[in-house]
Structure 1
Amino acid sequence: MATLAPTVAPRQGGGADKDEEPEGGTSRVLGVFKATPFTYATLIIVSAVLSVPLVFAVSIALSTDHTVTTNAFTIFPHEFEWRNFTKVFEGDLPMGRFLVNSLIIALGSVIGQMVSSGLVGYAFARLRAPGKNVMFLVVIATMMIPTQITMIPQFILFKDLGWVNTYLPLIVPNFFSNAFNVFLVRQFVSRLPSELDEAAMVDGLGFFGIYRRIMLPMLWPVLIAIGIFTLTYNWGDFMGPLIYLNDDSKMPLALGVQYITTTAVAGQPPPWNLVMVGSILLTLPMIAVYYLGQRYLYEMDISGGSAGVK
C-alpha cells in the first residue's frame, strides 16, 4: 500500500525567512543604514555652512593692509597676501616665543593628565578599599563646582607658593587629573576582564606592575583621547595665562593674538589680517591633532570597554 509522505506547508511570502529565530527563541534583526544621494547632499551642504567661518578667517588673513583699512572683506579670498604669515613674526611682539610657550604649557598638561588619569581611574576600577565608591561620588561631584568659585582660592594658594608668573599653576594641577578624565578611565577599565589582573597576581605582579605591563597597553585609546581633549583645552586657554602670567616673554599664543589688537594706532582699525593669521596658527594644529588621533577617539568605546582588547 502506498504511504503518504508528510508535507510541510511553505511559509507565507515564499523563500527563507531572513529573520528566522535562532536557537534559544530570540530573534535578532540587524538594521543597516544605507546612504542615499540625498544623505551625501545633506552632509555636503551642512559641511559647507559650518566651513564658512574658517573660509572667512582665511580670506581675512590673506587680505592686504589696504583692505583692512577700508574694511572691504569678502567671504571668499580675492587677494593672496601670503607675506602676512611671515609678517606676523616680524613685528614687535615675539610671536615665535608665544608659540613655544603654548607648546610648553599644552604638552606639560597633556603628560600630567595622561599619567594621573590612568592611575586614578584604574585604582577606582580595580582596588578594593572601604569607602571607595563614596570617594568616587565625591570626585564626580566636583564636576558641578563652577570654575569661578575656585578661581580666587587657587590664585591665593599659588601666590603663597610663589608660583605666580610661572608655568607651574598652568601645568602642575594637571598632574592631579580631573573628574571627567577619571570617569572615562574607570568606565573603560571596569569593562575589561578582571581575570587578567588575577592571572598577573598569581605570577607575582603588584598593583603598579599590573598597570604598567598589562593594563597600560590596553588603555592607550582612552589615554590618547584624554590627551587630545587636554591639548585642545590648554592650547587655546586664555583665562589661565591671563591670571597667572605677567611677563610678555611667557605669554602663550592665545594671549599673543589678543595683544595684536592692542598694537593698533589710535583711530585706526586693528590689523585684522595679522589677527586672523594668529587665529589660524591656533586652529591648524588642533585640526591636525584631531585628524591624526580620530582613530583613538572612535576606539574609546566606554559603553563596551572592549576597544583595548581588539
Structure 2
Amino acid sequence: MTTTATTTRTLRAFRATPFTYATLMIVSALLCVPLVLVVSIALSSDQTVNANTFTIIPREFHWENFTRVFDTSLPMGRFLLNSVVISVFSVLGQMLSSGLIGYAFARLRAPGKNGLFLVVIATMMIPTQITMIPQFILFKELGWINTYLPLIIPNFFSNGFNVFLIRQFVSRLPREIDEAAMIDGLGFFGVYRRIMLPMLMPALIAIGIFTLTYTWGDFMGPLIYLNDETKMPLALGIQYISSTSAAMQAPPWNLVMVGSILLTLPMIIVYYLGQRYLYEMDISGGSAGVK
C-alpha cells in the first residue's frame, strides 16, 4: 500500500502542465533553428551565396544543389563511400571486441583481473591529444599512413567506456544462467554466443550507434592519417569544398551545407531506428536483455 501511494505521489509530482509543453516547444524551436538555417542555405542559389543574403526560413528551393554537389571537381561520391566503409568496419570492431572483453571481465576468474579493469577504466581519463603523437609514430612505423587501418583497427580493441558498459550489464545478469549452460556442455565462447549475446544486443547496438556517430563525423583522424584525396571521408571532403574556391570569392556555402545535410541525415535515421535499444539499455540494472 505504501509503495502504491509513493508511486502515485511521484506521478503527480512529474505530471506535465500546459506550461511544461509550452516551454518544451519553445526550447525545441530554438534548437531547430541551426538545422533550418542549414537547409535554407543548402537550397539557396549561387547569387544568394555571393550576396551573402541568407535567411532562416527558405525562400528559394534549388533542389538541384543536391545533385550539383556530386558534379564538382571533388569526388563526393567517393567521399561518401569512404565514410561508409570506415564507419561500418569500426562499428563491427567495437561491437565484437566490447562484448567479448566486457563479458570476460564480468565472468572470468583470473588473478589481477580487477586491477587490470581499473587500468582499462583509467584510460578514459587520458586526453586524446596526449596519445595523438605516439599513435601517429606507431602507425607510421607499421606503414599504415594513408590507409584506413589507423581509423579501423583500434576499434577492434574496444575502449574503456564500452568495456565498462558491457561489464556492468553482464554483472547484473544471474550467474546461474552461465552455470546452467556449462552443465549442458557449453564452454566460454558457447555461453557467450548462444546465451549472452542475445541478451547483450541492446547494449551492443547502443555501442554501435555511439561508434557510428563518432566515426561518421570524425574529422581529426582522417586529417592526420590520410593524404590521398580519393581515400578521404565525407567529413573531410566537405572542408575541401569550402577551401577550393577561387581567391576573393565566397566559398559555395550552398554546396557545403548540402554536404553537411548528407553528413547529418544518416545519423538522424540511425538514431530513429535504434532509439528503442538506447532506451532499453539500463546501465545500472543491466536488465534490458531479459525484458
Question: What TM-score, normalized to structure 2?
Answer: 0.97
Q: Residue 193 of structure 1 aligns with which residue?
A: 174
How far off is 1:204 after superposition?
1.2
Which residue pairs with 2:204 in the alignment? 223
1:43 aligns with 2:55: no
Q: Does 1:90 align with 2:67?
A: no
Matched, 1:29 2:6: yes
1:277 corresponds in structure 2 to: 258
* 1:29 aligned counterpart, secondary structure: helix
Q: 2-side partners of 1:120 and 1:229: how far apart?
A: 18
Q: What CA deviation, in whole Å up to 9, does each residue of 1:81-140 have, x standing for no partner?
A: 111000000010000000000000000100000000000000000111111111000000
| Corresponding residue of 1:73 | 54
- State percent identity of aligned pairs: 79
SS in 2 for 1:92: coil
Instruction: Considering fraction of residues, name the structure with more helix.
Output: 2
Deviation of residue 43 (structure 1)? 1.1
Q: Displacement of 1:48 after TM fit?
A: 0.3
Shift of the 28–206 alpha-carbon distance from structure 1 to 2, 3 Å rule, reads farther
For 2:148, the equivalent position in structure 1 comes to 167
Secondary structure of the equivalent of 1:195? helix
User: CA separation in 2, counterparts of 1:117 and 1:107?
Assistant: 15
Question: For structure 2, which runs of at least 5 residues remain unmatched after alignment?
Answer: none
2:45 is the alignment partner of 1:64: yes
The residue correspondences of 1:175-214 to structure 2 (distance < 5 A) are 175-214=156-195
3-state SS in 2 of match to 1:166: coil
Aligned to 1:125: 106
Q: Which runs of structure 1 show a deviation greater than 4 angstroms over 4 or more consecutive aligned residues?
A: none
What SS does the aligned partner of 1:79 have? coil
1:143 equivalent in alignment to 2:124: yes
How many Å apart are 1:28 and its aligned residue?
Answer: 5.6
Look up the match of 2:284: 303
TM-fit CA distance, 1:201 = 1.1
The alignment partner of 1:129 has SS state of: coil
* CA distance in 2 between partners of 1:154 and 1:27 (Å): 56
Q: Distance in 2 between matches of 1:70 and 1:29?
A: 62
Q: Does 1:155 align with 2:143?
A: no
Match of 1:251 in 2: 232
TM-score w.r.t. the length of structure 1 is 0.91
Which of 77, 82, 93 is the aligned partner of 1:101? 82
Q: Could you tell me how far apart the structure 2 residues matched to 1:124 and 1:239 are?
A: 31
- Counterpart CA distance in 2 for 1:121 and 1:262 is 43
Q: How many angstroms does 1:303 deviate by? A: 1.0
The one-letter amino acid paired with 1:29 is T
In the alignment, the residues of structure 2 paired with residue 47 and residue 260 of structure 1 have an alpha-carbon distance, to the nearest angstrom, of 31
CA distance in 1, matches of 2:25, 2:55: 22
SS of 1:88's equivalent? helix
> How far apart, in 2, do the equivalents of 1:230 and 1:65 lie?
36
Does the C-alpha gap of structure 1 residues 247 and 38 become closer, same or farther in structure 2, counting only changes over 3 Å? same
Structure 1 counterpart of 2:155, which letter? N
Distance between the aligned counterparts of 2:124 and 2:282, measured in 1? 22
Amino acid at match of 2:117: F
